[in-house]
A and B are shown apart, each in its own frame.
Chain A
Amino acid sequence: MDTGFKPLGREKITLWLMLAPTLIGLLFGVLGSILATVALSFTHWDLLTPPRWANFDNYIALFNDEKLWEALTNTFKFSLLYVPAVVVISMFVAVLLNRKIRGVTIFRTIYFLPVVTSAVATALVWNMIYGKDTGILNFIIEKLGGQPVCWLCTDKVLIALIIVNVWGAIGEGMIIFLAGLTAVPREYYEASELDGAGGGSKFFKITLPLVTPSIFFMTLIVTINAFQAYDYIYMLTRRGHGDSSFPVVVYSIYRNAWSFFNYGGASAQAIELALFVIILMGIYLWMERRYVVYD
């Protein structure tokens, strides 16, 4: 796979110069924030008075915070459903749209539209769909003779949120899979057709193995997104006064910092969340070596 070019001499200088704006931004913006978060997680800080050293207080507090446990459980439940759903559905959509059909560009655009639309605006629309007595979904259910369902209540909220979040994410996944699919050489399909392979076996024997790099990449990105999912969840489940019927970890971080003057504790929660993601990435990378096919 090593196809990159190797810069030499003057080219190297040009290269670094061109990379500099991004690298400086990363260094101060991202790396700076990470280091600051690590440092703050060892302090008691209310933003308005100087931080006080806290040793491991904030990390010990993680284990005693019932609300955080609830949020962690929610984040894991959400991720467990969200990640496979996004990967499978966006691959399905990509396979469907990776052929010469009339209006394929329109379909691709439609699927991609949620990605470029403001989450806050679309969440408002979803609120109108999910409302119990006022919602469009229940209007249809009642017209068909069913009982109205409280979609955003405790027992249904997870599935309702998964639907919205997956809907919002398949556009991006579709693009990544389309890119992966175009890299699959046509000859493989032609050869298999000569051997009498049908649509199903072409997909499982050729397409699937050859897009494993895309699947791997998608799973990685989608997992990170799942742990950071916030905007749709907040907009659909907030109950006023900062309460939510489905608090996730990012929500807990925000609330601890901005409502409870607890920036140290919020930083420790952020680090905890990052550690979970890092562990998962480790597992993925190990699986990559075993299962991913790089031509």
Chain B
Amino acid sequence: MRKLMFSVAMVTILLLSACGGAKPAGTGGTEPVTITFSAWGAPEELAVWKQIVSDFEAANPGIKVNVEVSDWDAYWDKLKTQLAANTPPDVFAMDAPLFLDYQTRGVLANLQPYIDKNPDMLKDVYPQTLEAYKTAEGYYGLPRDFQTIVLFYNKDMFDAAGVSYPTADWTWDDLRAAAKKLTLDTNGDGKIEQYGFVFDQWDMEPGWSEALWSQGGDIISADHTKTLVGEPASRKGWQTLYDMVFVDKSSPDANTIGQYGLDLFQAKIAAMTPLGHWAVPGYDGAGFAYDAAPMPAGDAGHATSVNSAGFVVANASKNQEAAFEFIKFVMSEPGQKRLTELGFAIPVLKSVAESPVFLEQKNSKLNQQVFLDSLAFSRMKPVFKGYDEWAAVIGDGMGAVWRGEAGLDETLNQIVPQADEVLAKNK
């Protein structure tokens, strides 16, 4: 018994010295540390996470991971409650645009000290995906996968209409002309059965940020104080989309979209759509031939959106070091390969993204290279405090335009000051 006590004491001392005295509590004994990892996702994602966790546990026998996966809405509600009650998961998923809403409120741990101990871990990561999580004091989060927005097109519809496929040289004018030719009233009843183009009329990412940026417009100022969606160059981007919906009628209005309740491209009602890689598994199973091209160019050249999903560690976590080990594993080659197999996203690790694991996914005949090539002209989906409320002012406000109830210019004149108020409030 005394011998056992002695060895426990020795191990404790060893562990304490290994931690450099930073966190003396909670590391006594050889008990494995259990951490909780929480993420949003579909049921099939839970299975992949469990696989990643078992790989991780095999490589790190001292750490056990509990995985919790909820749907998007439930995830954020639960997370906020857990944070408020000071019982958050040790490590949890973060959507980049919302990052500052949490980081500025002090609930996230600074990962910089851990990154400094692993100087090579970010060397092979796409820098565009890291930007969102960088603060003056270092990284408070790290990306696990990312999305660039590309132009998906239905090959069957293009072939039937005799229109040549989108290319990397396309401009918005080319897209508009093709969309017109692809808009059909197939049964001659005066109503449109097939639209040339559909975009997300609320969310900027798969919707309108590309149109604005490519014309030289912008979303918000770098210091997060001014909304720029009403600037003249931005309005040019809006105008293209507006004309497609209300002049050419090659893109459905909000009321028409609303009736379907699903992705019009996947439903074979629209011939083109800007979307991210998350749509690929669904499209692969939808039974039509499709491919993807880069987003078209405007006055200011090509532009697309890059956004990442990442990890953060709770400031209240008692096992931050173990939590970081888990992040490190998911960002390493074995972890990234597993995540890529899921097929929803693009790995942040160049060595995996540029390997057959990503480029030659067995279930997809899609040209995956276009997602990586788009990084050359990508812009980060803005990350700022008050994102949700700001996006609601713009998205809800523009809803009236897309339903055909309000004019474009008058609406922009009205919502930009409201959006600026939100920014001022969240300063």
Contacts and interface: CB of A to CB of B under 8 A. Distances in A.
A153 B106 CA distance: 42
A150 B403 CA distance: 12
Interface stretch (A14-22, A166-174, A180-188, A256-264): A256-264
A245 B258 contact: yes
Nearest to B106: A49
Contacts of B405: 154
B203 A241 contact: yes
A17 B102 CA distance: 46
Contacts of B76: 258
A131 B267 CA distance: 14
Interface residues on B, range: 20 to 34
Contact of B396 (A134, A154, A243, A260): A243
A47 B396 contact: no
B122 interface: no
Contact of B392 (A46, A47, A150, A260): A260
Interface residue SS majority, chain B: helix
Interface in A95-133: 127, 131-133
B258 A134 contact: no
Interface string A229-257: 00000000001111101000000000100
A150 B258 CA distance: 9
B388 A47 contact: no
Interface residues on A, range: 20 to 34
A48 interface: yes
A242 B395 CA distance: 10
A210 interface: no
A258 B80 contact: yes
Contacts of B399: 239, 243
B111 interface: no
A93 interface: no
Contacts of A48: 80, 83-84, 102, 105-107
Contacts of A152: 258-259
B392 A242 contact: yes
B202 A241 contact: yes
Contact of A131 (B102, B203, B261): B261
Contacts of B102: 48
Contact of A260 (B202, B255, B388): B388
A243 B259 contact: no
Nearest to A135: B259
A255 B255 contact: no
B392 A241 contact: yes
B105 A255 contact: no
A198 to B, nearest CB: 48
A124 B37 CA distance: 31
Given A127-B261, A152-B258, A260 B83 contact: no
Interface in B373-427: 386, 388-389, 391-392, 395-396, 399, 403, 405
A256 to B, nearest CB: 9
Contacts of B396: 67, 243
Given A46-B105, A131-B261, A154 B389 contact: no
Given A239-B399, A241-B391, A132 B259 contact: yes
Nearest to A150: B255
A261 B101 contact: yes
B109 to A, nearest CB: 14
B114 to A, nearest CB: 23
Contacts of A239: 202, 254, 258, 399
Contacts of B256: 132
Nearest to A138: B259
Interface of B: 76-77, 80, 83-84, 101-102, 105-107, 202-203, 254-256, 258-261, 386, 388-389, 391-392, 395-396, 399, 403, 405
11 contacts: A47-B84, A48-B106, A49-B105, A240-B202, A241-B392, A243-B395, A243-B396, A258-B80, A259-B392, A261-B386, A261-B388
Interface of A: 46-49, 67, 127, 131-135, 150, 152-154, 239-243, 245, 255, 258-262
Of all A-B residue pairs in the complex, the 9 with the closest CB atoms, nearest first, are A132-B259, A48-B105, A260-B389, A259-B388, A153-B255, A47-B84, A241-B202, A243-B396, A49-B105
